[in-house]
Amino acid sequence: MNLDCIPREDLHDILCRMPKAELHIHIEGSLEPELIFELATRNRIRLPCATIHELRAAYDFADLQSFLDIYYAGASVLQNEEDFFDMTWAYLNRAKADNVFHAEIFFDPQTHTARGIPFETVINGLERAIRRGREELGLSASLILLRTNRKAEI
């Protein structure tokens, strides 16, 4: 497609309508501040930021450590299968809105098993959302397990 012949004012709409594949998404990193606060409230988890606005402002990362601090604070609200489902379902709905037809979803079970969350809780929530996404949204997705040097309790 030669983009030079497309009027600039039409480019955004054309790109939005184009089908896409998301080939590298870390699902825990997809958590939006609103859902983080919802899950924190549901699970009685205290967050380092007092408001959604403050948390969103913290997404302006100064360095790797500031990113990791927010990433792990967000992941800490994931406590049960429904939380993993809700996180994945929210991502799949945003992906569908962006005309994504396939997603390769990376997940890090060690982040959760190290906190005492059973592997089955993680995988069952993710997989249930993916099945629903396939059935209701027509969006295919695959899970890719990240392996770290930490021992996973699987």
Superfamily of domain 20-145: Metal-dependent hydrolases (3.20.20.140)
In 78-89, which positions are buried (b, 16+ CB within 10 angstroms) versus exposed (e)? bbbbbbbbbbbb
First-to-last C-alpha distance (Å) of the chain? 47
Q: Is 151 helix (H, G, I), strand (E, B) or coil?
A: coil
In tens digits, the chain (154 residues) has pLDDT values of: 565 788 888 888 888 899 999 999 999 999 999 999 999 999 999 999 999 999 999 888 889 998 898 899 999 999 999 999 999 999 999 999 999 999 999 999 999 999 999 999 999 999 999 999 999 999 999 999 987 665 544 4
In 3D space, the residue among 76, 78, 43, 73 whose CA is nearest the CA of residue 56 turns out to be 73
Domain ranges of the chain: 20-145
This prediction's pTM: 0.88
